[in-house]
Chain A
Amino acid sequence: MTPLPLVAVAGSPNAGKSALFNALTGARQKVGNYPGVTVERHSGRLTLADGRPVELVDLPGAYSLDPASPDEAVTRDVLLGKQKGERTPDALVIVVDASNLDSHLRFALQLIELGLPTIVALNMVDLAKRDGLELDPKRLETELGVPVIETVAVRKRGLPELQAALDDMLSAPRCAVNERVPSELIQLQRRARDIAKAAVVSESPTRRWTHRLDSVLLHPVAGPVILAAILFVMFQAVFAWSEIPVGWIESGMALLASAATDVIPAGVLQSLIVDGVIGGVGAVVVFLPQILILFLFILMLEASGYMVRAAFIMDKLMHGAGLSGRAFIPLLSSFACAVPGIMATRTIDNPKDRLTTILVAPLMTCSARLPVYTLIIAAFIPDRAVGPGIGLQGLVMFGLYVAGVVGALLAALTLRRTITKGGGGRS
């Protein structure tokens, strides 16, 4: 039995390589291991239009054929036919990010030089278009000398075209592998930039207005003031906006309780339903509006892109506490709940930074603690204004949150000097 034609999928990290591989192979995947290294080998089967099966292998993401990690070494060795336990691929699909052509084409050029039958998948063209970048795939094709197919892997767009191109490629007679001396990386980079420039049809400066907005939001003085104001409004809103829906829930619960009292005869059962179930659930449900408002704010900050700006502003201060600016988002999310906050720490690549962030995240006041704060504030702090639009209760709430933040930063500093000493944060 002759082995199936082997097609390798290669590309830089974040080009959407694995998304394309998944879209092409569907659920028919096998995860194995390359012998001698702890690098996973993902392979799958793809059936071409004429029913011919093809084996697809998803190579680890790499920036060039000069390996910087064991993963990249596997990519190079497979492509050069030097990897133990792997055949030399019969064809190659190079995935490039349309919005990031400059850097992704460099690797693509290096791979094309290998002389294997190659197709370039110009991926994420939808995102490039949204950013006002229009590319000419035909021009790219002439410049690169290999077929270029526009794809949107996550939306499964361009896949039939890619399969058809693959079909043509595998049907054509094999050409000899190129024995040419590989070009210098810097030359490839320059050619990549020239080609990327040539392939651009139109490039609208859509970023202009965001830049103008950023000069206010990231202004050395206005930036931190705006950040503090947004956080302050957020915590005021948690109190003020929730008053009305809390009133509705309270009167709703009262109505329900009196209705239950009327229906159920006085006794143990009535007490269980009215005081236990309705009273107990009601005491928890009244906090729902506050939690929802907090989540709404965090979602809006995340979706609008402000969260990234906040991380930028806070980085220096976080750095002072031995944390990364990237810890700001997980820590702010911990206001909603520490669990997703801790999960969000996976974006921090330094392991010690990440551990420190995880350890201090629960010190941030999460929304489940909000009812306790609310209860205590309502009981001990008079509801009066200390200024226009500033309630004393909201101010105390703000202060409690600040205390949580300060506590977390102090804890981070202590941890950084003891348990998670060295590396990363304080470089």
Chain B
Amino acid sequence: MTAHFKPESISLDQLEVGSRASIASIDWDALEAGESARLKHFGFDEGVVVEPLHFGPFGRDPLAIRVGRMTVAIRRSHARAVRVTLPQ
């Protein structure tokens, strides 16, 4: 087994309500231009702390995510492009 220096990362859509995690990486190419611009504007970036607050009633989609002082809604399919790491 090799030692892993990188902490385990999961995608944002796997994060449960109320658990805070910081963004490890964002696959901007997996997002449409409009959506990636929207996320950039909301301050989605590596190192930013995010916290899911609510899930939509149908298929737990979309997700209401707290980022900084804002709460923003993003779809589960888009949240998959965002990798987050849970605090140790």
Contacts and interface: CB of A to CB of B under 8 A. Distances in A.
A315 B61 CA distance: 8
B42 to A, nearest CB: 7
A63 B64 CA distance: 23
A220 B55 contact: yes
B77 interface: yes
Interface stretch (A98-106, A266-274, A358-366, A412-420): A98-106
A189 interface: yes
B68 A103 contact: yes
Contact of A350 (B32, B41, B64, B71): B32
Interface string B50-75: 00011111111110100011110101
B47 A190 contact: yes
A189 B45 contact: yes
A193 B57 CA distance: 33
B54 A214 contact: yes
Nearest to B59: A316
A211 interface: yes
Contact of A424 (B32, B60, B70): B32
A351 to B, nearest CB: 9
A312 B56 contact: yes
A215 B54 contact: yes
Interface of A: 12-14, 63, 68, 99-100, 102-103, 106, 131, 133, 186, 189-190, 193, 203, 207, 211, 214-215, 218-221, 223-224, 311-313, 315-317, 319, 325, 349-350, 423-424, 427
B64 A218 contact: yes
A103 B73 contact: no
Given A68-B37, A100-B68, A103-B43, A427 B59 contact: no
Given A12-B41, A100-B43, A218-B56, 11 more contacts: A63-B41, A103-B42, A218-B64, A221-B57, A312-B73, A313-B57, A315-B73, A316-B58, A319-B75, A325-B62, A423-B32
A122 to B, nearest CB: 15
Interface residues of B, number: 30
Contacts, number: 86
Contacts of B71: 207
Contact of B69 (A133, A211, A215, A319): A133
A186 B46 contact: yes
A68 B77 CA distance: 22
B87 interface: no
A344 B51 CA distance: 30
A63 B40 contact: yes
A12 B43 CA distance: 11
Contacts of B32: 350, 423-424, 427
B24 to A, nearest CB: 12
Nearest to B70: A100
Contacts of B75: 315, 319
A133 B46 CA distance: 24
A325 B47 CA distance: 29
A206 B73 CA distance: 20
B53 A214 contact: yes
A103 B50 CA distance: 14
Contacts of B64: 214, 218, 312
Nearest to A224: B57
A184 B26 CA distance: 16
A215 B64 CA distance: 11
7 contacts: A99-B69, A103-B42, A131-B69, A186-B46, A218-B56, A316-B62, A319-B61
Contacts of A319: 61, 75
A79 B35 CA distance: 27
Contacts of B46: 186, 189
A349 B32 CA distance: 11
A219 B46 CA distance: 30
A102 B47 CA distance: 11
Nearest to A131: B69
Nearest to A317: B58
Nearest to B63: A312
A220 B48 CA distance: 27
A109 to B, nearest CB: 13
Contact of B68 (A12, A102, A218): A102
Contacts of A313: 56-57
* Most interface-central of B46, B57, B68 (chain A CB within 10 A): B57
